Chains A and B, each alone.
Chain A
Amino acid sequence: MKVIQLHQEEKQLIMLAIENDRQAQQQIYTKFSSKMLSVCRQYIKDIHHAEDVMITGFMKVFTNLKNFENKGSFEGWIRRIIIYECIDFIRVKRNNFNHQDINDVTISENESVYEMEDFSVDDIQNMIDNLPDGYKMVFNLYAIEGYKHQEIAEMLKINVGTSKSQLSHARKLLQQQIIELKNKLNGTT
C-alpha cells in the first residue's frame, strides 16, 4: 500500500512539475539531487564541475519531464539523463576519450582477484578518479551502471572491442591501486 501511495505522490509531483510548479520541482530536486551528485562525482573528479553538470542535468530533466512515460522508475530516468550529461561534459572537456584498441592489450582474467570490503567509498572513488577518462567511463558504465558493451559502444560512439579493452585496462589499473593501498594500510610499502 505504501509503495502505491508513494508512486501516486511521485506521479502527482511529476504532473505539477510539468506545469512548472516550482515547489514540486524543488521537491523532486531535493529528493534526487544528492544521489545524482554522487553519480556525477563518479565520472567527474572536480566536485564543482560535478555539481554544474548535475544542475544542467536537472534542467534537462525538468524541460523534458513531459516525455517521461511512467513506464520505468523515475529515478532511473533521471539517472540516465545525468549520465548522458556527464559523458557530454567529459567529451567537450577532453575533446575525445583516451581510447585504446583491443589489439594493443593483453588481458589476463585470473590476475584480478582482490577484495573491496576493506576500503571506504572515498578510497574507491579515489582509485576510480586515478583512472584515465576513457577507462573510467567504460568501467563506471559497465561495472556500476550495468550497461552492456554494445550499449556503451553506442553511448560513447566507440567500437564494442574498444569498450572491452577499456574495461580490461581499467580493471588492471584498479588492481594495481588496490594492491598499493593494501600495502599502505598494512604498513608494508
Chain B
Amino acid sequence: MAQHKIDNQLKEKLNAREIQPSAPAWDRLDAMLTVSEEKKSKKGYGWFFVAASTMLFFGLGFFIFSSSETTKGNDSIPVVNSVKEEMDSTETNKINQISVEKEQPVLVQNEVNYSKKKARFIQSVEKNELIKEKNIIQENPSPIIHQSSPITYKYVSPDDLLAEVQTSSKVITSDKKTIARPRIQVDANSLLTTVEKELDNTYRETTLDKLTRKFQDTKLALANRNYE
C-alpha cells in the first residue's frame, strides 16, 4: 500500500510538470514536415512520370510497328512499278514508249497462251514468220509499193513514221506489231499503271519513297530527252 502511495505521489508530481521546448523546436519540426511532404509529392509525380513514360514507349512502339508495316506494303508496290518502269525505259531506248507499253500485255498474254496452248502459239509464230518472209519478199522487188500501202499505219506515231522512213527494216517490225497489237488491253494496262501511280501518291509517302519516285521521274525524263 505504501508503495502504491509513493508511486501515485511521483506520478502526480511528474505528470503535473511541463517543460517548454526551445523556440526553434517548432521551426525544426516544420522543416521536417515540409521535407516529408515534398518527398511524398515527388513520389506521386514519380509514379505519374513512370506511367507517362511507359505509355509513350508503348505508343511509339505501336506507331513505329504500324508505320513499318505500311512502308512494307508500299514498298511492294513501287518494286513492281519500278520493274515495269525499268522495262518501259529499256524498251523506249529500243523503239517508242507508247508502242512498248502497248506491247507489254501482248507479251504477257503470249506467255500465258504459251503455257496453256503451246501448239497454237507455235502455229501463230510460224504464221508471223511466214508473213515476215512474205513482206521481205515483197520488199526486195519493190520497196515503194510497200510504202504505198499505209492502211496498217493509221495509229503509228510520227516518230515511228520517221523511223520507218529512215530504215526500211523497222517498218517490218512495226508491221509485226500492228498485226499482234490488241489496243484495248494495252490501254487497260497503262490505265492500271497510272492508277497505281496515283494511289501511291495519295498514300503517305516516306522520304525514301519520295526519293525513289523523283529518281524514277528524272530517269524517265532523261530517257525521253535522250530519245528526242
Contact = CB atoms under 8 A, between A and B. Distances in A.
Interface string A9-37: 00000000000101001100110011101
B88 to A, nearest CB: 77
B3 A35 contact: no
Contacts of A37: 18-21
B123 interface: no
Contact of A26 (B14, B18, B20, B26): B26
B72 interface: no
Interface stretch (B5-13, B127-135, B170-178, B200-208): B5-13
Contacts of A35: 18
Interface string A110-129: 00111111000100110000
B33 A34 contact: no
Given A116-B13, A143-B11, A144-B10, A41 B26 contact: no
Nearest to B9: A116
B50 interface: no
11 contacts: A20-B33, A29-B29, A38-B18, A38-B19, A55-B25, A59-B29, A114-B6, A116-B13, A121-B16, A125-B14, A171-B3
Contact of A29 (B7, B22, B26): B26
Interface residues of B, number: 26
10 A-B pairs with least C-beta separation: A34-B18, A116-B9, A143-B7, A37-B19, A38-B17, A38-B19, A121-B17, A121-B13, A55-B29, A37-B21
A64 B13 CA distance: 30
A22 B30 contact: yes
Interface string B61-82: 0000000000000000000000
Q: Of B2, B6, B7, which is in contact with the most chain A CB atoms at under 10 Å from its CB?
A: B6
Nearest to A40: B19
A55 B7 CA distance: 28
B54 interface: no
Nearest to A56: B32
Interface in A39-63: 41-42, 47, 51, 54-55, 58-59, 62-63
Nearest to B4: A143
B37 A143 contact: no
B34 to A, nearest CB: 9
Contacts of B33: 20, 22, 25, 59, 62
Contacts of B9: 116-117
Nearest to B11: A144
Given A35-B18, A38-B18, A58 B29 contact: yes
B28 A121 contact: no
B113 interface: no
B36 interface: yes
Given A59-B32, A117-B9, A143-B7, A34 B14 contact: no
Contacts of B142: none
Nearest to A57: B29
B19 A34 contact: yes
A41 to B, nearest CB: 6
A30 B30 CA distance: 13
